[in-house]
Amino acid sequence: MSNLVSVPKNGSLSNNNSNTNFPSVSNWLEDIFNRDLPSVLTSNFNTGLSLPKVNIKDTADAFLIEMAVPGFKKSDFNIDLDNEVLSISTETKEENEQKEDNYTRREFGYASFKRTFNLPETVDDEKINANYKEGILSILLPKKEEAKQKPIRSIKIS
């Protein structure tokens, strides 16, 4: 709520004057419930990472997952394959401490995400590889030979 209002000593929130800066109770409640609740609750906190955006390409020979995750190192990622479920996750912690004559300021942050993908049976899981370059994590999921698209061929009629 952007307006500051002094509440009378009796605790009443009714609008007895014509001051248009004073929100009515119904407007105030509507404002609260029509907001994006997570942003209201976390607007003053370090919320860490949001879920990274992903592009998935299906080509004749492979699937390619591209994930936008700038600011990381290759060693920050965990990529696991368990029962045809590919999991990509990261976890970062940061701590800063600043000491002056009469105060100490300490800040810390934590951020993590995990994305999972159910892989089709057509993926050759022995040949999966990953690459991280310029903020893009790319994971190549080659298809099994029998699942690859065959080129179009003409069949002659006898």
Amino acid identity for residue 24 in this structure:
S
What is the tens place of the pLDDT at every residue in 46-71? 445 578 899 999 998 999 999 999 98
How would you classify the pairing of strands 104-118 and 129-133? unpaired
What is the pTM (predicted TM-score) of this model? Answer: 0.59
Asked whether residue 11 is domain-assigned, the answer is no
Q: Which two tokens mark 75?
A: 């060693």
Asked whether residue 8 is domain-assigned, the answer is no
Coil, helix or strand for 54?
strand
Q: Look up the domain containing 71 and give its range.
A: 54-147
φ/ψ (deg, to 5) at 31: -60, -40
Tell me how many domains the chain contains: 1
What is the tens place of the pLDDT at every residue in 3-40? 444 445 544 444 444 445 555 555 555 555 555 544 44
Token match 């990509």: residue?
88
CATH of the domain at 134: 2.60.40.790
Sort residue 83 into left (φ over 0), alpha (ψ -120 to 50) or beta.
Answer: left
Report the distance separating Cα 156 and Cα 10, nearest Å. 94
Residues comprising the chain, all counted: 158
Beta bridge partners of 116: 87
Looking at residue 48, what DSSP letter applies? -
